[in-house]
Amino acid sequence: MKKNKVLVGASILSEDFFDIQKTLKKINSSDLDFVHLDVMDGVFVPNISFGPAFVKNIRPYSKKFFDVHLMLSDPIKYVEKFVEAGADAISVHVEAKKALQSIKLIKSFGVKCGIVLNPKTSAKKIKKYLKIVDYVMVMTVEPGFGGQKFMEKQLGKISKISDMIKKSGRKILLSVDGGINLDTAKLSVKNGVNVLVCGSFLFKQKNFNDTVKKLKLA
Protein backbone atom coordinates (compact mmCIF):
# COMPACT_ATOMS: atom_id res chain seq x y z
CA MET A 1 0.00 0.00 0.00
CA LYS A 2 1.44 3.35 -1.10
CA LYS A 3 2.10 5.81 1.73
CA ASN A 4 0.29 9.14 1.38
CA LYS A 5 2.42 12.24 0.92
CA VAL A 6 2.79 14.32 4.07
CA LEU A 7 2.81 18.11 3.67
CA VAL A 8 4.63 20.24 6.22
CA GLY A 9 4.11 23.90 7.05
CA ALA A 10 5.87 26.26 9.43
CA SER A 11 3.92 28.36 11.90
CA ILE A 12 5.79 31.62 12.41
CA LEU A 13 3.82 32.65 15.50
CA SER A 14 6.74 32.05 17.88
CA GLU A 15 9.31 33.74 15.64
CA ASP A 16 10.82 37.21 15.99
CA PHE A 17 8.63 39.51 13.87
CA PHE A 18 11.30 42.22 14.10
CA ASP A 19 13.53 40.07 11.89
CA ILE A 20 10.84 38.28 9.91
CA GLN A 21 12.79 38.47 6.65
CA LYS A 22 15.45 36.21 8.21
CA THR A 23 12.75 33.66 9.08
CA LEU A 24 11.29 33.84 5.58
CA LYS A 25 14.72 33.29 3.99
CA LYS A 26 15.09 30.12 6.06
CA ILE A 27 11.62 28.99 4.99
CA ASN A 28 12.16 29.88 1.33
CA SER A 29 15.34 27.79 1.06
CA SER A 30 13.70 24.76 2.71
CA ASP A 31 11.48 21.91 1.53
CA LEU A 32 8.49 23.30 3.45
CA ASP A 33 5.20 23.21 1.59
CA PHE A 34 3.64 26.30 3.15
CA VAL A 35 3.79 29.13 5.66
CA HIS A 36 1.15 28.98 8.39
CA LEU A 37 -0.07 32.36 9.65
CA ASP A 38 -2.06 32.46 12.90
CA VAL A 39 -4.34 35.48 13.13
CA MET A 40 -5.75 36.21 16.61
CA ASP A 41 -8.17 38.87 17.78
CA GLY A 42 -7.81 38.67 21.57
CA VAL A 43 -11.49 37.67 21.81
CA PHE A 44 -11.79 34.20 20.29
CA VAL A 45 -8.42 33.35 21.84
CA PRO A 46 -6.58 35.13 24.70
CA ASN A 47 -3.86 36.57 22.49
CA ILE A 48 -3.40 39.09 19.66
CA SER A 49 -1.05 38.51 16.72
CA PHE A 50 -1.31 40.43 13.42
CA GLY A 51 -3.71 41.48 10.70
CA PRO A 52 -3.98 41.68 6.89
CA ALA A 53 -1.34 44.43 6.64
CA PHE A 54 1.34 42.12 8.06
CA VAL A 55 0.46 39.37 5.57
CA LYS A 56 0.48 41.88 2.70
CA ASN A 57 3.87 43.24 3.78
CA ILE A 58 5.60 39.85 3.91
CA ARG A 59 3.91 38.41 0.81
CA PRO A 60 6.57 39.80 -1.61
CA TYR A 61 9.35 38.04 0.34
CA SER A 62 8.14 34.48 -0.19
CA LYS A 63 6.70 32.40 -3.01
CA LYS A 64 5.60 29.72 -0.57
CA PHE A 65 1.91 28.90 -0.19
CA PHE A 66 0.36 31.15 2.51
CA ASP A 67 -2.09 29.34 4.80
CA VAL A 68 -3.96 31.88 6.96
CA HIS A 69 -5.62 30.52 10.10
CA LEU A 70 -8.29 32.91 11.40
CA MET A 71 -8.71 32.53 15.16
CA LEU A 72 -11.38 35.21 15.12
CA SER A 73 -14.81 35.40 16.72
CA ASP A 74 -16.35 36.92 13.57
CA PRO A 75 -14.07 35.91 10.65
CA ILE A 76 -16.42 36.83 7.80
CA LYS A 77 -15.55 40.52 8.30
CA TYR A 78 -11.92 39.87 7.41
CA VAL A 79 -12.01 37.20 4.70
CA GLU A 80 -11.79 39.58 1.74
CA LYS A 81 -8.99 41.59 3.37
CA PHE A 82 -6.82 38.49 3.79
CA VAL A 83 -7.57 37.38 0.23
CA GLU A 84 -6.39 40.80 -0.98
CA ALA A 85 -3.32 40.52 1.28
CA GLY A 86 -2.19 37.40 -0.57
CA ALA A 87 -3.60 34.38 1.27
CA ASP A 88 -3.59 31.15 -0.75
CA ALA A 89 -5.77 29.36 1.82
CA ILE A 90 -7.90 30.58 4.70
CA SER A 91 -9.35 28.52 7.54
CA VAL A 92 -11.96 29.47 10.12
CA HIS A 93 -13.12 27.79 13.31
CA VAL A 94 -16.33 25.82 13.47
CA GLU A 95 -16.93 27.54 16.82
CA ALA A 96 -16.83 31.04 15.28
CA LYS A 97 -19.80 33.18 14.16
CA LYS A 98 -21.12 32.54 10.64
CA ALA A 99 -18.52 29.83 10.03
CA LEU A 100 -20.35 28.26 7.07
CA GLN A 101 -20.98 31.64 5.44
CA SER A 102 -17.30 32.48 5.91
CA ILE A 103 -16.25 29.23 4.23
CA LYS A 104 -18.53 29.92 1.26
CA LEU A 105 -17.15 33.44 0.95
CA ILE A 106 -13.56 32.18 0.97
CA LYS A 107 -14.45 29.66 -1.73
CA SER A 108 -16.08 32.37 -3.86
CA PHE A 109 -12.72 34.13 -4.15
CA GLY A 110 -11.09 30.99 -5.56
CA VAL A 111 -9.00 30.52 -2.41
CA LYS A 112 -8.60 27.16 -0.64
CA CYS A 113 -10.78 26.94 2.46
CA GLY A 114 -10.54 24.97 5.69
CA ILE A 115 -12.52 24.32 8.84
CA VAL A 116 -10.81 24.11 12.25
CA LEU A 117 -11.87 22.38 15.47
CA ASN A 118 -10.80 23.25 19.00
CA PRO A 119 -9.82 20.37 21.32
CA LYS A 120 -13.19 20.29 23.10
CA THR A 121 -15.24 20.32 19.89
CA SER A 122 -16.77 17.06 18.65
CA ALA A 123 -15.84 15.66 15.23
CA LYS A 124 -19.59 15.61 14.39
CA LYS A 125 -19.61 19.42 14.18
CA ILE A 126 -17.79 19.40 10.83
CA LYS A 127 -20.05 16.98 8.98
CA LYS A 128 -21.90 19.66 6.98
CA TYR A 129 -18.60 21.31 6.00
CA LEU A 130 -17.21 18.24 4.26
CA LYS A 131 -19.22 19.07 1.14
CA ILE A 132 -17.27 22.28 0.58
CA VAL A 133 -13.94 22.52 2.44
CA ASP A 134 -10.53 21.64 1.03
CA TYR A 135 -9.07 20.73 4.40
CA VAL A 136 -9.92 20.07 8.03
CA MET A 137 -7.54 21.12 10.80
CA VAL A 138 -7.65 19.65 14.28
CA MET A 139 -6.14 21.71 17.09
CA THR A 140 -4.07 19.46 19.36
CA VAL A 141 -3.43 22.29 21.84
CA GLU A 142 -5.67 25.05 23.15
CA PRO A 143 -5.38 27.77 20.48
CA GLY A 144 -3.70 31.06 21.28
CA PHE A 145 -0.10 30.31 22.19
CA GLY A 146 2.78 28.33 20.71
CA GLY A 147 5.01 25.84 22.50
CA GLN A 148 2.24 23.79 24.16
CA LYS A 149 2.25 20.02 24.64
CA PHE A 150 0.42 17.81 22.13
CA MET A 151 -2.91 16.47 23.44
CA GLU A 152 -2.85 12.75 22.64
CA LYS A 153 -6.56 12.49 23.49
CA GLN A 154 -7.20 14.24 20.17
CA LEU A 155 -5.95 11.21 18.22
CA GLY A 156 -9.32 9.50 18.54
CA LYS A 157 -11.03 12.55 17.03
CA ILE A 158 -8.46 12.70 14.25
CA SER A 159 -9.12 9.06 13.39
CA LYS A 160 -12.90 9.68 13.32
CA ILE A 161 -12.49 12.67 11.02
CA SER A 162 -10.21 10.65 8.74
CA ASP A 163 -12.99 8.06 8.39
CA MET A 164 -15.55 10.82 7.76
CA ILE A 165 -13.37 12.23 4.98
CA LYS A 166 -13.02 8.81 3.34
CA LYS A 167 -16.79 8.33 3.43
CA SER A 168 -17.34 11.78 1.88
CA GLY A 169 -15.60 10.63 -1.30
CA ARG A 170 -13.87 14.01 -1.60
CA LYS A 171 -10.15 14.73 -1.60
CA ILE A 172 -9.99 16.64 1.66
CA LEU A 173 -6.71 17.12 3.49
CA LEU A 174 -6.53 16.44 7.22
CA SER A 175 -4.24 18.78 9.12
CA VAL A 176 -3.05 18.94 12.71
CA ASP A 177 -1.74 21.99 14.56
CA GLY A 178 -0.14 22.14 18.00
CA GLY A 179 2.72 20.40 19.77
CA ILE A 180 4.05 18.74 16.63
CA ASN A 181 7.49 17.11 16.83
CA LEU A 182 8.93 13.96 15.25
CA ASP A 183 7.09 11.66 17.66
CA THR A 184 3.67 13.36 17.62
CA ALA A 185 3.94 13.75 13.84
CA LYS A 186 4.16 9.96 13.49
CA LEU A 187 1.20 9.46 15.83
CA SER A 188 -0.85 11.96 13.83
CA VAL A 189 -0.01 10.47 10.43
CA LYS A 190 -0.77 6.99 11.76
CA ASN A 191 -4.29 8.22 12.53
CA GLY A 192 -4.91 9.71 9.08
CA VAL A 193 -3.24 13.13 9.06
CA ASN A 194 -1.50 14.25 5.86
CA VAL A 195 -0.70 17.87 6.75
CA LEU A 196 1.50 18.90 9.69
CA VAL A 197 1.75 22.43 11.07
CA CYS A 198 4.92 22.80 13.11
CA GLY A 199 6.19 25.87 14.96
CA SER A 200 8.33 26.05 18.09
CA PHE A 201 9.89 22.60 17.72
CA LEU A 202 10.90 23.19 14.10
CA PHE A 203 12.51 26.58 14.63
CA LYS A 204 14.54 25.32 17.60
CA GLN A 205 16.33 22.73 15.49
CA LYS A 206 19.94 23.37 14.40
CA ASN A 207 19.30 21.80 11.00
CA PHE A 208 15.97 23.31 9.97
CA ASN A 209 15.55 21.63 6.60
CA ASP A 210 16.77 18.25 7.81
CA THR A 211 13.95 18.33 10.37
CA VAL A 212 11.46 19.31 7.68
CA LYS A 213 12.51 16.26 5.65
CA LYS A 214 12.13 14.00 8.68
CA LEU A 215 8.63 15.34 9.36
CA LYS A 216 7.68 14.58 5.75
CA LEU A 217 8.65 10.96 6.36
CA ALA A 218 6.46 10.65 9.49
C-alpha to C-alpha distance for 120 and 38, rounded to whole angstroms: 19
C-alpha to C-alpha distance for 198 and 202, rounded to whole angstroms: 6
Q: What is the pTM of this model?
A: 0.95
What class does CATH assign to 7-216? Answer: alpha beta
Beta bridge partners of 136: 115, 174
User: What pLDDT was estimated at residue 198?
Assistant: 96
Catalytic residues: 38, 177
pLDDT, one tens digit per residue, over 109-130 is 999 999 999 999 999 999 999 9
Is it the case that residue 7 has pLDDT exceeding 90?
A: yes
User: What pLDDT was estimated at residue 59?
Assistant: 97
Is it the case that residue 193 has pLDDT exceeding 50?
A: yes
Which residue intervals of 69-153 are DSSP H helices? 79-85, 99-108
C-alpha to C-alpha distance for 196 and 90, rounded to whole angstroms: 16
**32-46 average pLDDT score:** 94
Mean pLDDT of the chain: 95
Beta-carbon neighbour count of residue 212 at 10 Å?
21
